[in-house]
Structure 1
């Protein structure tokens, strides 16, 4: 499948922003599961580009104010393909000359992905015999049942432990609970941000899911969407990976001034013939 994607984020302020610094993970990279044919960013400043230790494309820009509106737009085309065994597994290894962290780096928790005893106890029976695909999908189904999808019950600062105890959240929370559960049992897992194409949806939104390492030496991973209780497929477009939401967030910024912030997000995804 090939998609044309447009993602626009507009921040409005009642008091002007005097100065701001922004970090973007809004440019997908080509890899084992997708090819990026064209991608453009439009921002109110000069962009610099780099790669982080996870292999993500990272852009930065600084804006000198005053400004009551900051608009950031990303547009491009991505072709998504299946992995080995129909998207069951894929090798994600650094390119020649690229420095990237080991998959084992994704075994340690973060403030957003700590797994207290109750979460560990919940996950352990699912993976008692190993972490093959059926076991991981069973765990994902258990997480989706335990942390029911419900909008507006959490925010970007909600931890996996909090969402697990609350029993509800959005895709970000379900993905972080899955990450926390795997890491607590000694399995490298990483958070993935991206897009999900649903032809029946009236409005598109960003999405999140989980990569789980099957073989660290070979860089072999599988990718599971907890929200949809499935292995990812050609409906999923990857933007960035990280240890949690904070390290894979599409947009992060530091502002001087800028009180009274409100946000508009418009995402469109259309198949390309």
Structure 2
């Protein structure tokens, strides 16, 4: 499936912005799953490209002048191949056994993973664990935020894709199974709020660096609807945009994501506005 994607993030400030620094993980890379035909990223200042510690192509930019607004844009055309299997020898697999603040497991999550993974990691066992996570942590937009941990989402019994991924990661790593967070896009014309998405790679064959991509939220393996952007230990490690600022007062962020099959008319599939006061 050939998909055309446009992702725009606008920032407006109630007071002059004095300084801003951002890191962008907004560039998909070629893999067994996808071919990137074209892709561009633009920001209010020159972009500096580099590979981060997870192998992602990241860009940083900084701005040191007064401004009341800015915008970051990313987009292009990606052809997906519906392959949930990936071989990735770029990063030591042991890295993805490490727990983080967002993926700490207690005895309940360790037991959850043990029930499904004790006899080894297969496609069937990986999917069974995904179903168990989704059965407990129901899809519930607005119930959590980006700082919600796996344990908090498990106790609340609700969350969104990043929470499903964090719970899954915690259960895997607590049982010695390497697993990593994946950020990306999801083509769903009938569910526009899912355009920005997250799922998990679980290492099925460590000796061959072979990973299986599992979408917990949809209860399926990664298919032609998914476009991969970046991987990391958790959301905080590979979020599409993260950064710091000085000044600006209250910040209003508006996000628009348009995903369509090549040749289809452009229709925005996801739009979100969020106002945030500066940190004290």
Q: TM-score, normalised by structure 1?
A: 0.93
Give 1:175's aligned residue.
165
User: 5+ unaligned residues in a row in structure 2: which ranges?
Assistant: 264-280
Question: Which whole-Å CA distance do the structure 2 matches of 1:204 and 1:224 have between them?
Answer: 16
Distance 1:247 1:202, change over 3 A: closer
Query: Which residue in the other structure is 1:92 paired with?
Result: 88
Quote the residue 1:161 is aligned against: 151
Q: What's the counterpart of residue 6 of structure 1? A: 6
Correspondence 1:221-232 to 2 at 5 A:
221-232=211-222
Please say which of residues 74-83 and 137-146 is displaced more in the overlay: 74-83
1:242-261 counterparts in 2 under 5 A?
Answer: 242-261=232-251
Could you tell me how far 1:122 is from its partner in structure 2? 2.6
The match for 2:106 is: 116
Using the TM superposition, give the Cα deviation of residue 202 of structure 1 relative to its aligned residue in structure 2, in angstroms. 4.5
Q: How does 1:124-139 map to 2 (within 5 A)?
A: 124-139=114-129
Per-residue CA deviation, residues 152-189 of structure 1 (Å, 9 max, x unaligned), is 11111111111111111110100111111100110000
Of 58-67 and 244-253, more deviation after overlay is shown by 58-67
Q: Deviations over 1:73-111 (max 9, x none)?
A: 10101111133xxx3x221233xxxxxx30111011011
The gaps in structure 1 that reach 5 residues or longer are 95-100
SS of the residue aligned with 2:133? helix
Q: Kindly provide the CA deviation profile for residues 204-236 of structure 1, in whole angstroms up to 9, marking residues without a partner as x.
A: 531000000112221100000000001010000
> In the alignment, is the contact (CA less than 8 A) between 1:32 and 1:92 conserved in 2?
no
* In structure 1, distance between residues paired with 2:194 and 2:260: 10
Alignment: residue pair count = 263
Question: 2:48 touches 2:59 (CA, 8 Å); kept in 1?
Answer: yes
Separation of aligned partners in 1, 2:194 and 2:115: 35
The 1:202/1:183 distance shift into structure 2, 3 A limit, reads closer
TM-score normalised by L of structure 2: 0.91
Range with greater deviation from structure 2 (119-128 or 187-196): 119-128
Q: Quote the Cα distance in structure 2 between the aligned partners of 1:202 and 1:134.
A: 29
Residue matched to 2:48: 48
Determine which of 126, 149, 157 is the counterpart of 2:139. 149
